[in-house]
A and B are shown apart, each in its own frame.
Chain A
Amino acid sequence: MSSSIAKSSQPPIEIMRRPGRIQLTYWQGVRRRLSRDPISMVCAGILVLMIAAAIFAPWVAPMDPYKTSMLQRLQPIGTAGHLLGTDELGRDMLSRLIYGGRVSLLMGLLPIAIATLIGSAFGIVAGFFGGKTNMVIMRITDVFFAFPSVLLAVGLAGALGAGLVNCLVSLAVVFTRAITRVAESATTQIRNHDFVEAARATGASAPRIIVGHVLTNVSSLILTYASSLISVSIVLASGLSFLGLGIAPPTADWGLMLNSLRQSIFIAPVNAVMPGIMILIASVCFNLLSDGLRTAMEVKP
Chain B
Amino acid sequence: MLWYTLRRVAYILPILVGVSIVCFSFVHLAPGDPMSAVMPEFASPELIAQIKQAYGFDKPLPIQYFRWLGAVLSGDFGMSTRTARPVWGELLPAILNTAQLAIAGVGISLVLGIGLGVLAAYTRRLATDRAITAFAILGVSLPPYWVGMVLVAIFAVTLGLLPAMGMGPSTSGGFGLEELRFLILPALTLAMIPTGIIARSVRATVMDVRKEEFIQTLYANGLSRRRIFLHVVKNTSRSVLAIMGLQVAQLLGGSILVETVFAWPGTGYLLNNAIATRDLPLLQGTILALAFFFVMMNFLVDLAQPFLDPRIKRQ
Closest Cβ of chain A to B93, distance in Å, is 19
Closest Cβ of chain A to B295, distance in Å, is 5
Q: Given the complex of chains A and B, what is the CA–CA distance between A143 and B25 in angstroms?
A: 14
The digit string for A227-245, where 1 denotes a CB below 8 A from any CB of B, is 0000110010011001111
The digit string for B285-304, where 1 denotes a CB below 8 A from any CB of A, is 00100110011001000000
Cβ-Cβ contact count across A and B, 8 Å cutoff: 142
Q: Which residue of B lies closest to A145 (CB)?
A: B15
Cβ-defined contact, B137 with A158, below 8 A: no
Cβ-defined contact, A239 with B137, below 8 A: no
Main secondary structure of the interface of A (DSSP, over half): helix
Ordered by A's residue number, 25 sampled pairs between the chains whose C-beta atoms are within 8 Å are A143-B19, A143-B21, A146-B15, A146-B16, A147-B287, A148-B254, A148-B294, A150-B250, A150-B254, A150-B256, A154-B271, A155-B283, A159-B284, A235-B142, A239-B145, A242-B143, A243-B275, A265-B149, A265-B157, A269-B157, A276-B146, A283-B142, A283-B143, A287-B137, A287-B141
Closest Cβ of chain A to B186, distance in Å, is 14
Please list the 9 inter-chain residue pairs (A to B) with the smallest Cβ-Cβ separation, ordered nearest first: A148-B253, A143-B18, A269-B153, A276-B146, A150-B253, A283-B141, A159-B26, A158-B275, A151-B253
Q: Is B252 an interface residue (CB 8 A)?
A: yes
The digit string for B132-156, where 1 denotes a CB below 8 A from any CB of A, is 0000011011111110011011100
Q: Which of B142, B283, B284, B295 contacts A280 (CB 8 A)?
A: B142
Cβ-defined contact, B283 with A235, below 8 A: no
Cβ-defined contact, A159 with B283, below 8 A: yes
The digit string for B15-39, where 1 denotes a CB below 8 A from any CB of A, is 1101101110111011000000000
Cβ-defined contact, A235 with B29, below 8 A: no
* Beyond known contacts A235-B142, A242-B260, A258-B145: 7 more, CB 8 A cutoff: A143-B19, A147-B287, A151-B287, A255-B143, A269-B153, A280-B142, A284-B137
Q: Which residues of B contact A47 (CB under 8 A)?
A: none
Q: Is B261 an interface residue (CB 8 A)?
A: yes
The digit string for B246-261, where 1 denotes a CB below 8 A from any CB of A, is 0001101110110011
Cβ-defined contact, A150 with B18, below 8 A: no
Q: Is A288 an interface residue (CB 8 A)?
A: yes
The digit string for A160-203, where 1 denotes a CB below 8 A from any CB of B, is 11100000000000000000000000000000000000000000
Closest Cβ of chain A to B268, distance in Å, is 9
Q: Which residues of A contact B27 (CB under 8 A)?
A: 159
The digit string for B269-289, where 1 denotes a CB below 8 A from any CB of A, is 001101110101001100100
Cβ-defined contact, A155 with B278, below 8 A: no
Instruction: Report the interface size class on chain B.
Output: 35 or more
Q: How many residues of A contact B (CB 8 A)?
A: 44
Q: Which of A146, A160, A244 contacts B30 (CB 8 A)?
A: A160
Cβ-defined contact, A239 with B18, below 8 A: no
Interfacial residues, chain B to chain A (CB-CB below 8 A):
14-16, 18-19, 21-23, 25-27, 29-30, 137-138, 140-146, 149-150, 152-154, 157-158, 164, 249-250, 252-254, 256-257, 260-261, 271-272, 274-276, 278, 280, 283-284, 287, 290-291, 294-295, 298
Q: Which residues of B contact A269 (CB under 8 A)?
A: 152-154, 157-158
Q: Which residue of B lies closest to A266 (CB)?
A: B157
Cβ-defined contact, B141 with A231, below 8 A: yes
- Contact A151 to B149, CB < 8 A, known contacts A156-B29, A159-B26, A244-B275: no
Q: Which residues of B contact A280 (CB under 8 A)?
A: 141-143, 146
Q: Given the complex of chains A and B, what is the CA–CA distance between A21 and B279 in angstroms?
A: 68
Cβ-defined contact, A284 with B138, below 8 A: yes
Cβ-defined contact, B145 with A149, below 8 A: no
- Contact A242 to B290, CB < 8 A, known contacts A148-B250, A150-B254, A158-B271: no
Cβ-defined contact, B272 with A243, below 8 A: yes
Cβ-defined contact, B152 with A154, below 8 A: no
Cβ-defined contact, A149 with B250, below 8 A: yes
Q: Which of A151, A156, A231, A273 contacts B146 (CB 8 A)?
A: A273
Q: Which residues of A contact B252 (CB under 8 A)?
A: 148, 151
Q: Which residues of A contact B275 (CB under 8 A)?
A: 154, 158, 162, 243-245
